[in-house]
């Protein structure tokens, strides 16, 4: 996808962002607006406005279907940053975080042009929770929020489990969809942040535990800013990332690496002596 900004441009690429009203989605929207026609899909319009905003509840599958019919006929990018923390209803978490993404992509795909790119928001917190392949496929075949709720209840999946399981599925779908979409010259990648300073952070403290979130801040000195995650998303949408496909990129400031090293993983270097000037 070209990001050239000179006056010779005849038409700017169209990028659709699901969940573009706040947080990482909003930061991404502001970045992309410099070179693309951005359409935000969200429950509430962002403030201040400045791009095309369509108010839609992603939990309402029929409403999403109607909205897709209003989108531009050629789409060069899709960013799926909508998501719920593990404090909401488990069925809603599964639906919004992953099932709605699959259903939205299926609807938008006929409008996506060769060279288009997709970025979906994952997480560094993922777990399969031992759910069988057939059961995961049944979840992804859900056609309504009610069926997603029934699935979560029948599999005894709670809200926190729903969050980590949904992000596990995002990971796996990124790889599968990269292979499926490659013949159509459409790329997909996943961005996996750690804790980010957004309005959702208090909910993650509640669901993941304050100690876990605070430890991340202590290790790195701060949490990520939304724009730092948005910068990676923007890169993945551009032609500079044309050879990046099916990749899960961890954007956590080195949190995972730091915790792994502290947890007794193999150490090939002596940390303290390595930092001493050898002259």
CATH number at 193 reads: 3.40.50.720
pLDDT category at 74 given cuts 50, 70, 90 is very high
Residue 200 lies in a domain: yes
Please give the pLDDT value at position 229: 98
Which is higher by pLDDT, 255 or 47? 255
Which is higher by pLDDT, 9 or 133? 133
Q: Cα separations (Å) of 150 from 94, 118, 146, 157, 189?
A: 11, 29, 6, 10, 30
198 and 226 Cβ atoms separated by less than 8 Å:
yes
Q: What is the pLDDT of residues 107-159, one digit of tens each?
A: 999 999 999 999 999 999 999 999 999 999 999 999 999 999 999 999 999 99
Please give the pLDDT value at position 2: 52
Residue 275 lies in a domain: no
Residue 271 lies in a domain: no
Please give the pLDDT value at position 29: 95
| Structural domains of the chain, count | 1
Has residue 273 got a pLDDT over 90?
Answer: no
Mean pLDDT computed over 205-217:
89
pLDDT category at 259 given cuts 50, 70, 90 is confident
Handedness of CA 153, 194, 176, 32 (dihedral sign): positive
Tell which residue, 14, 207, 10, has the closest CA to residue 97: 207
Residue 264 lies in a domain: no
Residue 272 lies in a domain: no
Question: For residue 123, what are its two tokens?
Answer: 């997480």
pLDDT category at 277 given cuts 50, 70, 90 is low
Please give the pLDDT value at position 52: 80
Mean pLDDT computed over 24-36:
95
Asked which of 85-94, 170-179, 194-203, 221-230 is least confident by mean pLDDT, the reply is 194-203
Determine the structural domain holding residue 221 and report its residue range: 14-252
Please give the pLDDT value at position 7: 40
pTM for this model (two decimals): 0.91
Residue 107 lies in a domain: yes
pLDDT category at 197 given cuts 50, 70, 90 is very high
Please give the pLDDT value at position 159: 96
Please give the pLDDT value at position 5: 46
pLDDT category at 45 given cuts 50, 70, 90 is confident
Tell which residue, 9, 25, 12, has the closest CA to residue 234: 25
Using a pLDDT cut of 90, give the percent of the chain over it: 76
Has residue 264 got a pLDDT over 70?
Answer: no
Using a pLDDT cut of 70, give the percent of the chain over it: 89
Residue 4 lies in a domain: no
Residue 117 lies in a domain: yes
Distance (Å, whole) CA 192 – CA 170? 10
What number of other Cβ atoms are within 10 A of residue 81's Cβ?
28
pLDDT category at 244 given cuts 50, 70, 90 is very high
Please give the pLDDT value at position 64: 97
Provide the pairing of β-strand 37-42 with 14-18: parallel
E strands present in 127-186: none
What is the residue-averaged pLDDT of the chain? Answer: 91
């Amino acid at each position: 996808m070209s990001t050239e900004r000179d006056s010779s441009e005849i038409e700017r690429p169209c990028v659709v962002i699901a969940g573009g009203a706040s947080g990482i989605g909003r930061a991404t929207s502001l970045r992309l607006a410099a070179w693309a026609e951005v359409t935000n899909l969200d429950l509430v319009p962002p403030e201040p406005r400045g791009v095309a905003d369509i108010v839609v509840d992603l939990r309402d599958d029929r409403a999403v279907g109607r909205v897709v019919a209003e989108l531009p006929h050629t789409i060069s990018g899709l960013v799926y940053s909508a998501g719920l923390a593990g404090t909401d209803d488990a069925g809603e978490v599964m639906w919004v975080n992953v099932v709605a993404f699959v259903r939205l992509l299926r609807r938008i795909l006929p409008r996506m042009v060769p060279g288009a790119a997709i970025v979906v928001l994952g997480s560094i917190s993922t777990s399969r929770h031992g759910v069988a392949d057939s059961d995961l496929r049944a979840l992804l075949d859900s056609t309504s929020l009610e069926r997603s709720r029934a699935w979560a209840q029948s599999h005894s999946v709670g809200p926190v489990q729903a969050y980590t399981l949904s992000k596990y599925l995002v990971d796996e779908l990124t790889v599968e969809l990269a292979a499926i979409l490659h013949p159509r010259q459409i790329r997909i990648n996943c961005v996996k942040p750690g804790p980010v300073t957004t309005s959702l952070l208090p909910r993650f403290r509640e669901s993941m535990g304050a100690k876990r979130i605070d430890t991340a801040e202590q290790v790195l000195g701060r949490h990520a800013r939304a724009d730092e995650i948005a910068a990676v998303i923007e890169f993945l949408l551009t032609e500079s990332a044309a050879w990046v496909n099916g990749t899960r990129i961890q954007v956590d400031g080195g949190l995972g690496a730091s915790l792994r090293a502290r947890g007794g993983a193999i150490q090939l270097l002596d940390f303290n002596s390595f930092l001493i000037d050898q002259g």
